[in-house]
Structure 1
Amino acid sequence: MDTDSTPTAGQPRDIGGETPTLRVFSLLELIAAKDEFVTLQGLAVESGLPKPTLHRMLRQLEDAGLLVRQVDGRHYGTGARLRELAEDILLNAAQYGATHGVLRHLAESTGESCNLTALSGDEVIYLDRVETTAPLRFTLAVGSRAPVHASASGKVLLAQMTPTQRRKLLSHSPLPALTPATLTDPDDLERSLEAARTQGWAIDDEEFLPGLVCIAVPIPSDRGRSNRCLAIQAPAMRLPAAEAPKLVEPLMAAAASIATIESEGSTDTDTRETQEVS
C-alpha cells in the first residue's frame, strides 16, 4: 500500500533534530511506525522535506541495512538490521522490573506458565517468560519463536491487521502443519481470526505443540493496534481448551497492569525531561 496521502491532521510531520544524524533517526521513526511500505513521494508529502534531501537520507538508511528497497524500486520497508535491533531492545527490556513482576504474579496466581510475546516477521517471539512450578510443564526459553498462524498470540496479532496486511504476511509460503490440529487452510484460519477479533482473545488448541494449550490477549496500546501479547500456556490434560477462557479475566487484568506500568514510565520520563529543561 502506498503512503502518498497527507497526515490526518493535514500538517507535515516534523522531521527535526539538531544534527543530521538525529534528523535521519526521526525519519526512521516515521517509517518504522507504519504498517505499510513507504515511497519517496509519500514521505515528502508527510514530512515536508525536499525530495533530494529525503532521497539522500533513504540511501543512507538503505546502505546501513536499516531499510530495504522493494523489487519495484519505489517502495521502502524496514530492514533486517532494524528488526534485529528492535528485538534486542524488547528482549533485554522486558525481562526485568515491574513488567516481569506482573508476569510472575500471574504465573503464581494461575499456576501456569506465562509469556510476554511480540510479532517478529511471520513468527511470534517470546520476550519474557515465567515457568510454572508444576512438575508437568512445557519449558520454552526467552527468545523462542512460534509460527504466527499456530499460536494464540499470533492469532491475536493477526486479528488486528487488515485482510490485506494478513495476506501480505502469510502469502509467501503455505501454512505448515505442526500438529494434526494446526489450521493450514486460509479460510479456516480467517474464521479463527474473526473470532479472535470479536472476543479480544485467542486460543491455540494443540496447534503449535501436541498436548499444549495456550490462551492470549493483547497488551493495550495507546496507538490502537498492539504488537505484543500476554499469554498463559498449560498441558492440555490440566487445561483443556474448553476451560481456557476462564483465564481471560486475569490475563486482561495483568495486560492492563503492564500497559499502566509502561505508561507511567513514559510519563515519569517526560516529567524528568521537563524538569531538566526548566
Structure 2
Amino acid sequence: MQSDVPKIDGDTPTMRLLALLEVIAEKDQFFTLQGLVEETGLPKPTLHRMLQQLEASGMLQRDGDSRQYGTGVRLRRLAENLLLNNTVHGARHAVLSRLVEEVGESCNITALSGNEVLYLDRVETSAPLRFYLHPGSRVPVHCSASGKLFLAQMSPSQRKRLLAHVPLERFTPNTLTDLPMLETEIERVQRDGYAFDDEEFLPGLLCIAVLVPATKGRSNLGIAIQAPIMRLTPDKALEYLPALRQAAEAIAAIDAEATPGTRDASA
C-alpha cells in the first residue's frame, strides 16, 4: 500500500509546495491538517507550515470551523485562466482531430524529452482495432518515428553522446539495436524528411512522422500517424504524407502566432 502514498518531495521548498498543491488539487471536498498528515506521512509541523504559506498566498482558505481547508480564490482563478487561455493546446488538438478525420487513424504530437519521445497529445481513431498510447506516454528514441527525426537534427557527435548513455533495447525483431544501422536509417530520414517506425517498438504497429517546422533552430515537435499493419502499410502511409505535412505546417503557424515577436520578425 506504500505506493499509494502521495509523494511530497522536491529539491526546493517551492517544489515541495507545488507537490502538495498537486495532492490538494485532486480533492473534491474540504480537508484537514490531520487528514493530510495521515495521507502524506509528513510531520504535522512541516505540513502546518506549508499550509500556512499556501493560505497566506491565497492559494488555500479555511472553511467551516477553521480547521478545514479548501481551494482559495487565487488557486481557482489560476485554474480558470489556464483553461480559458490555453488556446495553443486547444488549437493544436483541433488540427490533430482534423488529421484523424482525414486519414482515419490515430495521430499524436510528440517532443524529445531527454533520451525519450514524450507524447504531448493524441487523438484516437474510431476503428475497433487500435493501440492505446495516451498523452504522457514515453517511447525510447531509437525505435520511434519521431525519435529518428529528432536524432536526425543532431550533429553526429551529439547523437553519439546521447546514444552512448541509452541502451538500444530490442523490443521486436525489427528494432534497430546496431549503431551503424541506426546511423544509416538516420541518413535516410535526413534525406527524405520523414521517418517510419515499422514494428520497431510494438509488434503490428506502423507509424509515419514528420517534424513540425520551427521558426528558428531545431524543432522539438513531431506529428505522427499510427495504425496496425493490417490497415497501414509503408506505401499507404506515404499517401498520407501530404496531409501529415499540412497538419505540421498548421501547428507551426499556431505556434508562431503564439510566440511573442515572431510575426513582427517575419513581416
Displacement of 1:174 after TM fit? 3.1
The verdict on how the C-alpha distance between 1:117 and 1:197 changes in structure 2, with shifts beyond 3 A counting, is same
Q: Structure 1: any 5+ residue segments left out of the alignment?
A: 1-88, 272-278
Residue 223 (structure 1) shift:
1.5
Question: How far apart in 1 are the matches of 2:262 and 2:213?
Answer: 20
Query: Which of the numbers 163, 173, 193 marks the counterpart of 1:170?
Result: 163
Deviation >6 Å, runs of 4+: 268-271
Match 1:100 to one of 90, 93, 100: 93
Alignment partner of 1:158 out of 140, 151, 161: 151
Partner of 1:254: 247
Give the CA deviation at 1:95. 8.2
CA distance in 1, matches of 2:86, 2:141: 22
Determine the structure 2 residue equivalent to 1:192: 185
Residue correspondence of structure 1 range 1-278 to structure 2 within 5 A: 96-266=89-259
* TM-score between both structures, scaled by the size of structure 2: 0.64
* 1:179 to partner: Cα distance: 0.5
Quick one: distance in 2 between partners of 1:173 and 1:200? 24
Larger radius of gyration: 2
Distance 2:206 2:134 in 1: 17
CA 1:192–1:93: 2 relative to 1, 3 Å: farther
Deviation at 1:243, TM superposition (A): 2.4
What secondary structure is seen at the aligned counterpart in 2 of 1:155? helix
The residue aligned with 1:82 is none
1:269/1:131 CA distance change after superposition, 3 Å: same
- Does the Cα contact within 8 Å between 1:102 and 1:254 map onto a contact in 2? yes
Work out whether residues 94 and 128 of structure 1, in 8 Å CA contact, stay in contact via their aligned partners in 2.
Answer: no
For 1:270 and 1:221, locate their aligned partners in 2 and report how far apart those are by CA, in whole Å: 13
Secondary structure in 1 matching 2:257 = helix
| Secondary structure of the corresponding residue to residue 259 of structure 2 | helix
One-letter amino acid matched to 1:225: R
Matched AA of 2:147: G
Q: State the number of aligned residues.
A: 181
Distance across 1 between alignment mates of 2:103 and 2:223: 13
- Contact 1:119–1:154 under 8 Å retained in 2: yes
Counting aligned pairs with the same residue, the percent is 56
Aligned partners of 2:148 and 2:127: how far apart in 1?
27
Kindly indicate whether the alpha-carbon contact (under 8 Å) linking 1:94 and 1:100 is maintained by their aligned counterparts in 2. Answer: no
Computed over aligned residues only, the root mean square deviation of the Cα atoms, in angstroms, reads 2.2
Q: Which blocks of at least 5 consecutive residues in structure 2 are unaligned?
A: 1-81
Shift of 1:242: 3.2
